[in-house]
Amino acid sequence: MTALPEIVDRDIWLRRRAELLVREKAHTRAGSALAAARRRLPMTEVDGTVELTGVRGPTRVLDMFEGRDQLLVCKHMWSLGRPFEDQCRGCTATVWNFQDATYLEARGVTFAVWCQGPYAEFAPFREFMGYQAPWYSVHGVDAPGISDGWITCYLRVGDRVFQTYETDGRGVEAMMPALQLLDLTVYGRQEDWEDSPEGWPQDPAQSWFRRDGRPIPQWKVLKPVVEEASPVDFVR
């Protein structure tokens, strides 16, 4: 039987919840202070004329802003020559969790994905997954501030482009609200690195990222077309 939290009466629960709320508010204020510090970082110029291949062919970084002043980019890893089901489970989780940039655009921020694979190879994958954000290839590109970073932010000043921020590792969790919501639940992410009580469920294999040979979102993509799919759909 899965371990359970302590059972208490409601008055005790409310008191314990209030104690935790003090820490949560401090955490929120600390996050706001970090965001304020990010806004005060200096910026460094990058070459806005570098071209990455997208749906419209070679496209300058400068043109990826689509007339807005800011550009936020998420990097997607790519395993050359591998089928769809073998592509990065972490990148899949990141991009799948963020598929609509409407609110970013309302604040003058364009969102794009920069993939490490060749455009001709990942374009069918993008279509298969149903992603609407523009994807560009950084395959073979070696340019400071462009070929590195997992999430990177840029500012356009006239015809000049500046890098203002980048993060990697767990920094990409900013794009994964599913993780933030799991952190609110009693069993959390169920990963073995978490500090959880004795007996809490653990999933060292992180099967919530990948199940039955595919990143989990791909099963949702396949489900509506099972009845009409050709054999080729399942070979992918």
Q: Encode pLDDT of 39-93 as tens digits.
A: 999 999 999 999 999 999 999 999 999 999 999 999 999 999 999 999 999 999 9
CA–CA distance, 184 with 163 (Å, rounded to integer): 33
Q: What residue has token string 């371990």?
A: 3
Q: Encode pLDDT of 199-231 as tens digits.
A: 999 888 778 788 899 999 999 999 865 545 554
CA–CA distance, 174 with 181 (Å, rounded to integer): 12
DSSP string, 164-198: EEEE-GGGGGGG-HHHHHHTTSTTTT--TTS---T
Domains of the chain as residue ranges with CATH: 43-192+199-236 (3.40.30)
pTM for this prediction: 0.90
